[in-house]
A and B are shown apart, each in its own frame.
Chain A
Amino acid sequence: MKAARFDYVRPTSLAEALVLIAEAPDAKVLAGGQTLGPMLNLRLAQPPLLIDIARLAELAEVAEDQDGVTLGATITHAAIEDGRVTDPTAGFLSQVAAGIGYRAVRTRGTIGGSLAHADPAADWLVALAALGAELNLAGLDGRRRVALSGFVEGAMQTVLRSNELITGVWLGKFSSAARFGYHKICRKVGEFADAIGAAAYDPERGVRRLAVSTLAGAPLLLEARLDTPAAVPEVSHLEGELHQAGFTGDAYETRLRAVALQRATIAMVGR
Chain B
Amino acid sequence: MNQGIGARLLRKEDDRFLMGRGQYVGDLKLPGMQEVAFLRSPQAHASIKAVRVPAKLRDRVFSAADLAAVAPIRADTALPGFKSSVQPVLAQGKVRYVGELIAMCIAGTRAEAEDMAGEIELELEPMPAVTDMLAARKADSALVHEVWGDNLFLSTLTEVDFEAVLKKATLAVTRELKTSRQAMSPLEGRAVLAHWNSRLGQLEVMSSTQQPHIVRSGLAECLGIDEGQIRVVAPDVGGGFGYKGILLPEEVALAWATRRLGVPLRWIEDRREGLAANANCREHHYLITAYADRDGRLLALDCEASVDAGAYSAYPFSACLEAGQIGSILPGLYDFAHYRCRTYSVATNKPPILPYRGVARTGVCFALEVTLDALARALGIEPTSLRLNSLVRPEQMPFDNISKRHFDSGDYPQALRRAMAAIDLDAVRLRQKQATLDGRRLGVGFAMYSEQAGHGTSVYAAWGIPFVPGHEQCFARFTPDGALELRIGAHSHGQGLETTLSQVAHSILGVPHDRIRLVHGDTAATPYSTGTWGSRSMIMSGGAVAAACDQLALRLINIGAALLQAKVSDVRLHEGFITGPGGRIAIQEVARSYYRRPQDLPADVDPGGLEVTAGYKAMRDTGTFSYAAHAALVAVDPGTGEVEILDYVVVEDGGVLVNPMIVDGQICGGTAQGIGTALYEEMAYDKQGQPLASTLSDYLLPGPAEVPEIRILHMETASPYTRFGQKGLGEGGAIAPPAAITNAINDALAELGAELLISPITPRRIAEAVAQAQRMAARKAP
Query: Is B a genuine binding partner of A?
Result: yes
Residues of A participating in the B interface, judged by any CB pair closer than 8 Å? 1-5, 38, 42-43, 185, 187-192, 194, 235, 251-252, 255-256, 259
Q: Is the CB of B702 within 8 A of A185?
A: no
Query: Closest chain B residue to A38 by CB distance?
Result: B695
Cβ A2 vs Cβ B640 within 8 A: no
Cβ of B642 < 8 Å from any Cβ of A? yes
**B569 interface contact, C-beta 8 A:** no
A188-B764 in contact (CB<8A): no
Q: Are B705 and A189 in contact (CB under 8 A)?
A: yes
Contact of A185 among B114, B640, B697 (CB under 8 A): B640
The A-B contact count (CB < 8 A) is 53
- CB of B706 within 8 A of chain A? yes
24 residue pairs bridging A and B, Cβ less than 8 Å apart: A1-B114, A1-B270, A2-B109, A2-B114, A4-B111, A4-B114, A4-B118, A42-B694, A42-B695, A43-B114, A185-B642, A188-B680, A188-B700, A188-B703, A188-B705, A189-B703, A190-B703, A192-B697, A235-B639, A252-B641, A252-B767, A252-B771, A255-B640, A259-B639
Given A4-B115, A42-B272, A256-B640: 13 more A-B contacts, CB < 8 Å: A1-B114, A3-B111, A4-B118, A185-B640, A187-B700, A187-B763, A189-B706, A190-B703, A191-B697, A192-B697, A194-B763, A235-B639, A252-B764
Q: Which residues between 593 and 651 of chain B lie within 8 Å of chain A, taking CB atoms?
A: 639-642
Q: How far is the CB of B324 from chain A (nearest CB, A)?
A: 34
A contact residues around B767 at 8 Å (CB): 252, 255
Q: CB-CB < 8 A to A255: which residues of B?
A: 639-640, 767
CA distance A235 to B771 in the complex (A): 15
**Do B110 and A191 touch across chains, with their CB atoms under 8 A apart?**
no
User: Nearest CB to that of A258 among chain B residues?
Assistant: B639
- By a CB distance below 8 angstroms, the chain A residues around B762 are 187
Interface on chain A toward B: helix, strand, loop, or mixed SS? loop
Q: How far is the CB of A175 from chain B (nearest CB, A)?
A: 31
At the interface, yes or no: B159 with Cβ under 8 Å from chain A? no
Residues of the B chain whose Cβ atoms lie less than 8 Å from the Cβ of A259: 639-640
Size class of the contact patch on chain B: 20 to 34
- A251 and B114 contact, Cβ closer than 8 Å, known pairs A185-B640, A189-B705, A256-B640: no
Please name all residues of chain A whose beta carbon is closer than 8 Å to the beta carbon of B700 when the two chains form the complex: 187-188, 191
The chain A residue sitting closest to B762, CB to CB, is: A187
Tell me whether A1 and B272 are in contact (CB under 8 A). Answer: yes
| Distance (whole angstroms) from the CB of A266 to the closest CB of chain B | 10
CA distance A256 to B768 in the complex (A): 12
Closest B residue by C-beta to A262 = B639
**6 interchain residue pairs of minimum CB distance:** A2-B111, A189-B705, A2-B110, A188-B706, A252-B767, A259-B640
Q: A151 CA to B697 CA in the complex, in Å?
A: 26
Task: Write the nearest CB–CB distance from A48 to chain B, whole angstroms.
Answer: 14
- In the assembled complex, the Cα of A235 lies from the Cα of B640 at a distance in Å of 11
* Residues in A whose Cβ lies below 8 Å from that of B694: 42
B110:A187 contact, CB within 8 angstroms: no
Residue of A nearest to B701 (CB): A188
Contacts of A190 on B, CB cut-off 8 Å? Answer: 703, 705
Q: How far is the CB of B119 from chain A (nearest CB, A)?
A: 12
The smallest C-beta distance from B276 to any residue of chain A, in angstroms, reads 11
| Chain B residues in 8 Å Cβ range of A2 | 109-111, 114
Known: A42-B695, A259-B639. Contact between A5 and B703, CB under 8 A? no
Residues of chain B from 744 to 782 with CB closer than 8 A to chain A in the complex:
762-764, 767-768, 771
Bound CA span A185–B640, Å: 9
Bound: A181/B702 CA distance, A: 27
